[in-house]
Structure 1
Amino acid sequence: MPLGTKPDMERLQAHEIVDRVAEMRPWLRERQAVAEQQRRIPQETIERLDAAGVFSLTKPKRFGGADFTTRELHDIYRALGAGCGTTAWVVWATAGGNLWSFAFADDVVAPVYDPAWVGPRTFALGGTSRHMSGTARKVDGGWMIKGVWPFATGSVHASHGYLAVFYDETDDTKVGMALVPKESLVLRDDWDAMGLAGTGSQTVATDGDLFVPDERFSTPAQLGERIEELTKQGLGPRRGGLARSLVTCTGVALGMADQAMEMFLSAVDKRSIPYSPYAKQADAPIIHLTVGRAYAQIRAAGRVADAAVAELDRCEAEGVDPAEREAVQLHTDAAYVWDACSSAIETLFHASGASAILKRWPLQLIARNCRAGSLHAAHNIDTWLENVGRALCEVESAPMSVSVLERRS
């Protein structure tokens, strides 16, 4: 049995996890507001998700990971988003950190996947800019790192973090990742947001300089070499890198949209439209138009996500990573899905009447969570429409800022 494997997780298939998540859906929905109030996913939710095998989604195969396809991951995230968008976001974000586990030797990574740990194992931060990352300087036997990293989704529940650090004062290509036990960091508990408030995406920092041994420090180039080596052994990750992560995350947005539509339709026979002749919203043509418009947006977003998922599964089948132009399109597709789902949910919220602003009704929370997700830098629709438009017009520009994962080339 591979090191770190939980025996009862080895046989789980993607459809089994989807079924388990679907069974949890009413329970997850009841606790959406609790997560927002606590500014983190409740521990009981983490324990139930762990028992359902959710945190094995992108764990390296050599540590008992599920190694699901892009389609399977997308569908699992959509099932989670239909229960609680905040919970789905945390599962997705912490799953992404697992890719950096391929950069290090097995004996270094083994503590990350200690089978006794309950919950997500990793979080990963920074790398797109210096103000969102730390710094590192070389010393005998390792590196001294120092910094402040905001938006540390998963740091509440994970055991280890992958922290981006720049190790040259002037060269922005000189960036690496340090594997750090969470207990070595200062957790600021400063996450207080209008949306996705339950993700616990607090700031983490070092208390002065922190020593990281050489074996727990890697670079994008070293990660690429390690991935190629493991891929030849049949132990590498699926193709696609960050683009794949963002495409699978569209399942979170679509799941929230599914939940919003279900909530809205459940009330149209009960809610009236004051100052109108309609005792039930279901009788009003404006509601029919509203539902049709939102449905069309969600359906179109789903089709765009399906096309992006299919493209990544094609790359996997052919044993190639997306080309640069393809990656730009995949980023744009992901941004489009988030924006379309947010707009559809807000359309339903606007049509729900004044009572929808009450916090005991979940639609306002779903709307805030999805819009917050759409504002993530990697999902910003205006940025990616400009980028794809520039590519279509064949206009050259200065190099764009990219994540540390995209610097492998």
Structure 2
Amino acid sequence: MMTDIDTAEVATDSQRIRAREILSFVTELQPWLRENQSLAESQRRIPQETIDRLDEGGVFSVTTPNRFGGADFTTREVHDIYRTLGAGCGASAWVVWATAGGNLWSFAFDDDVVAPVYNSPWVGNRTFAVGGTSRRMSGTARQVDGGWMITGVWPFATGSIHASHGYLAVFYDDTDDSKVAMTLVPKNSLVCRDDWDAMGMAATGSQTVATDGELFVPDERFSTPAVLASRIDELTEKGKGPRRGGLPRSLVTSTGIALGMADHALDVFLTGVDKRSIPYSPYAHQIDAPMTYHTVGRAHTAIRAAGRVADAAVAQLDRYQADDTEPAEHEITQLHTDVAYIWHTCSTAIETLLHASGASAISKRLPLQLIARNCRAGSLHAANNLDTWMENIGRELCGVPAGPTSTSVLERRS
């Protein structure tokens, strides 16, 4: 007869095998993703064939709660999957990562509400989540018999194109910004504006979604931060909740995307270095120029340094899980700063390689310019903004209050 400990060990072994299988699948898919990332950009969304292949390889299980058949991977495993995926197509990796936000909300709602979302046949990510940081990014709600009438416009809805349901933040008090809630709605009840047209990460299809007038949401699909947080705590105590670390864990795993794009950029540069010439110089081939070695050395060292920072943050989060604890506030600030540093450093390294590649590299048929634009776009995300987090960590070190480490719905208490 197997004990609880034996059962846990078997489950852990099974997950480790599953993680290796997904990582191997994504590695094999890399060349195909690289060939199709320019097509994805032109379509301003991840092509359906890419979604089909990622789904077939189990990649979207990373974003699904384990009680509905999803993965329960360590931070290291998730980070490595994102890095390998990012080295194929940064935008595809961003969509997989961003839709993991829906995973957290799926832990927060009752099973009888969430189960139909995951038990129905579907290809791709089941959910997306958006809003809650400000009224401009969220909708509003008013209470009625049996539920709520919501209305609003939610920009930057990454993952909404291929999802069946969305988690949308709404404010339910005109004057109190702590009165914010999350609602679960079928995507087909929303208007999708197809307005995502960006200079980077264009293929993510992060369009605006909106209601067409007011939309009724029943009480069971509406929940406040206090209730949501309590539900997650309850599941975590039973071993059925999300892994420790919350938003910082999500952001740390996202650095795998930046590092993957940097890996790809360095591969692209090195592939052409013995063929590319340097006009108006004495060098027939770029590899003959001493400056080339400095360029490669700087880029490689920057990527390696960013990777070491990511490794430390990943290990720290896996220790929280092993110790059954959450990061303290000052640790969260440092993790945010580490994430911003990694994204900025990878983006700068890629741009160093782009600058050294000459005018031919600006052609859209060549991948380096696309990688550079995608990584810089990711670094400009509010959560990854280096200036913001350098100030925050500096404030903490000087004993001056820093800005909030999170403004998402779960960190509020209504």
**TM-score, with length taken from structure 2:** 0.94
1:111 aligns with 2:116: yes
Hey, what's the Cα distance between the residues in 2 that align with 1:360 and 1:216? 46
1:358 to 351, 355, 363: 363
Shift of 1:24: 0.4
- What do the CA deviations read for 1:81-101 (whole angstroms, capped 9, x no partner)? 000000000000011211100
Instruction: Compare 365-374 and 115-124 and name the one that shifted more.
Output: 115-124
1:75 to 75, 80, 86: 80
Secondary structure of the residue aligned to 1:266 is helix
1:219 aligns with 2:224: yes
| 8 Å contact kept, 1:129–1:401 | no
Q: Which runs of 4+ in 1 moved over 2 A?
A: 9-12, 396-401, 405-409
Hey, what's the Cα distance between the residues in 1 that align with 2:70 and 2:403? 39
Unaligned runs of 5+ in 1: 1-8
- 2:256 corresponding residue in structure 1: 251
- 1:324 corresponding residue in structure 2: 329
- What do the CA deviations read for 1:160-194 (whole angstroms, capped 9, x no partner)? 10001111111111111000110010000000000
1:309 to 305, 311, 314: 314
- 1:194 corresponding residue in structure 2: 199
- 1:47 corresponding residue in structure 2: 52
Identity %, equivalent residues: 76
- 2:188 corresponding residue in structure 1: 183
Hey, what's the Cα distance between the residues in 1 that align with 2:342 and 2:404? 25
Structure 1 residues 397 and 255, CA gap change in structure 2 (3 angstroms): closer
2:351 to 346, 350, 361: 346
- What do the CA deviations read for 1:313-340 (whole angstroms, capped 9, x no partner)? 1111111111111111111111110000
Hey, what's the Cα distance between the residues in 2 that align with 1:79 and 1:398? 33
Hey, what's the Cα distance between the residues in 1 that align with 2:189 and 2:36? 31
Hey, what's the Cα distance between the residues in 2 that align with 1:269 and 1:397? 49
2:138 to 133, 142, 146: 133
How do 1:15-34 and structure 2 match up within 5 A? 15-34=20-39
Secondary structure of the residue aligned to 2:152 is strand
Hey, what's the Cα distance between the residues in 2 that align with 1:302 and 1:358? 29
Shift of 1:111: 2.0
Hey, what's the Cα distance between the residues in 1 that align with 2:312 and 2:42? 37
Structure 1 residues 125 and 292, CA gap change in structure 2 (3 angstroms): same
2:396 to 386, 391, 395: 391
Q: RMSD of the alignment, in Å?
A: 1.5
1:266 aligns with 2:271: yes
Number of aligned pairs?
401
- What do the CA deviations read for 1:116-153 (whole angstroms, capped 9, x no partner)? 10001111001111101111111111111110000000
| 8 Å contact kept, 1:290–1:347 | yes
Structure 1 residues 73 and 398, CA gap change in structure 2 (3 angstroms): closer
- 1:87 corresponding residue in structure 2: 92
Unaligned runs of 5+ in 2: 1-13
- 2:240 corresponding residue in structure 1: 235
**TM-score, with length taken from structure 1:** 0.95
1:58 to 55, 59, 63: 63
Residue type matched to 1:265 in 2? L
| 8 Å contact kept, 2:396–2:402 | no
